[in-house]
Amino acid sequence: MTSPSDLSTASSTPSAALRPWVVVVLLGVLGGIVGALGISGVLVVVALAYYGFCLVRPSAGIAWGFAALPLASPQFQIAGIHIQPFEVLLWPASLVALASAMGQRRFLRAVDLRALAPLLWAGGYMIVAGVLLWGDTAPLEIRMWGSALVFGIACYLNAAERDFQRNFPRAVAFSAVALCALAGSQHYFGFPAYQGFEEPRDVLRLLVLGNSEPVRLANLTFDHFNSAGAYLTLVVGVLMGMALCTRRSTWLWTATLAAVLALYLTYSRGAALAATGAILTTFYLVFRTPWRVALVTVACAVTLVAIVSLLPLLISSEYSTTLTLGARALIWRAYLQAWLSSPLFGLGPGNGYVTAQFLSPFGDEYAAHSNFLYLAADYGVIGLLAVVTGFGAVIVRAIRLDPVRRRDQPYLLGAVAVVTALAIHSIVDHTLGLFSYRVALFGVVAIGLRSPPREASIHE
């Protein structure tokens, strides 16, 4: 037994006496970094802590990368390259996760290559096409497609790890709640990181109070409210898939509602329609036939009532000033003409935008406002088909399962919801131009292609 004299002697050793000083020095250094660099200093401190976490627990680290993905602004330059904050955190985490997978001899075996083939085909083709076609934005496009593919592979290789499965739902739920809090602060108080967008877009206020005054449009951590809305469709889809497949998932449903509220406060109409479609799709996939019929009937009835009663009210109010369908129609026609000049292979990355400038009065102000036209104009029919088949693989896989088995595939169901939202949103906006969204999309689809069973993937 240790005597009191031994305890007093141990507590007075130099190593024990120095521990408080080590803490003080460490805090002083970190405080100095933050004080000298400001917001960038905060990112440096967070990055160092995150790197250490990734080295100790690579699978958990890559899972928590989904909480870092929304950090899209403010951008800063390194060696003349514009860097977004999430990149500082995510790329080292991806490399550590890949190195860990290789060290454990689970790096893309034959069975993995077959499962991941659609995504490898999509990302690989776009990278090769970017090099061969080489357009105005080829370096940026190659970087974005390549980075997204690397992150997707890292997620796929770690998706079956218990540490990943435990932390992935937590990371997405944390992201949803944090973004909801930020959206509420920007909407009601106009800070922090608010970009100053105000338009009369609040449909509920118009219907309930007859008030069509401008409201603040939350942009969250993005440069534009539509970008924030696009990213939140992904968060909503992933959370819906996990919530529907998990018993006693109150916290997941709470996070889903938080993501929906944040999405509403962005007032992004395309994102709202896309998220609604994603939610309906997830319910449809897990319902049995009678409930499916009821769901489709109710959805059609609500849509019809909205068109008949709501649309005239919106058009006759100040809300109509926010509609840009006329301008978008001119932009779509310009991109369609650009695509038809090289329909098979496209004009090359960024060249669709350059060509559209001469074909539309809005060509030099706006991008395609359609993922389909953006991909067709820059990469042609082959590129468009590569992306559709790559992301659509999760839908094909889900369709082949019966509703009962789908409930055992939360990540697959979430991936289907995300791809459905992408397909709907792609009609009216160019969401793939958003770097963090593209990276997150590859990660979610890769996890869906791996899709461990419910019992192993969601820990309650």
Q: What is the pLDDT of residues 251-308, one digit of tens each?
A: 999 999 999 999 999 999 999 999 999 999 999 998 887 888 888 888 888 888 877 7
| Mean pLDDT value of segment 389-399 | 94
pLDDT of 186: 97
Rounded distance, CA 57 to CA 100, Å? Answer: 9
Question: Tokens representing 227?
Answer: 């970008």
The mean pLDDT value for 104-116 works out to 86
Grade residue 457 by pLDDT with cuts at 50, 70 and 90: very low
Interval 36-45: pLDDT, tens:
555 566 777 7
Q: What is the mean pLDDT of residues 159-170?
A: 94
Span 140-148, average pLDDT: 96
Q: Reply yes or no on whether the pLDDT at 340 is more than 60.
A: yes
Q: Is residue 400 within 8 Å of 146, Cβ to Cβ? A: no
Domain boundaries, the chain: 106-286+324-457
- The model's pLDDT over 211-246, given as tens digits with 9 standing for 90+, comes to 889 999 999 999 999 999 999 999 999 999 999 987
Quickly count: other Cβ atoms within 10 Å of residue 322's Cβ: 15
Mean pLDDT, residues 405-419: 93
Q: How far apart are CA 435 and CA 237, in angstroms?
A: 18
The pLDDT assigned to 79 comes to 73
Q: Provide the phi-psi class of 224: left if phi over 0, else alpha when psi is between -120 and 50, else beta.
A: beta
Predicted confidence at residue 361, as pLDDT, reads: 78
pLDDT at 419 over 90: yes
Residue 398 binned pLDDT confidence (cut-offs 50, 70, 90): very high
What is the reported pLDDT for 386? 96
Q: What's the whole-number mean pLDDT along residues 383-401?
A: 95
- Dist CA 129 CA 355 (whole Å): 18
Predicted pLDDT at 105: 81
Q: What is the pTM of this model?
A: 0.89
Taking 3-state DSSP, the helix, strand and coil percentages for the chain, each rounded to the nearest 5, stand at 75, 0, 25
Burial class (CB in 10 A: 0-12, 13-18, 19+), 96: buried
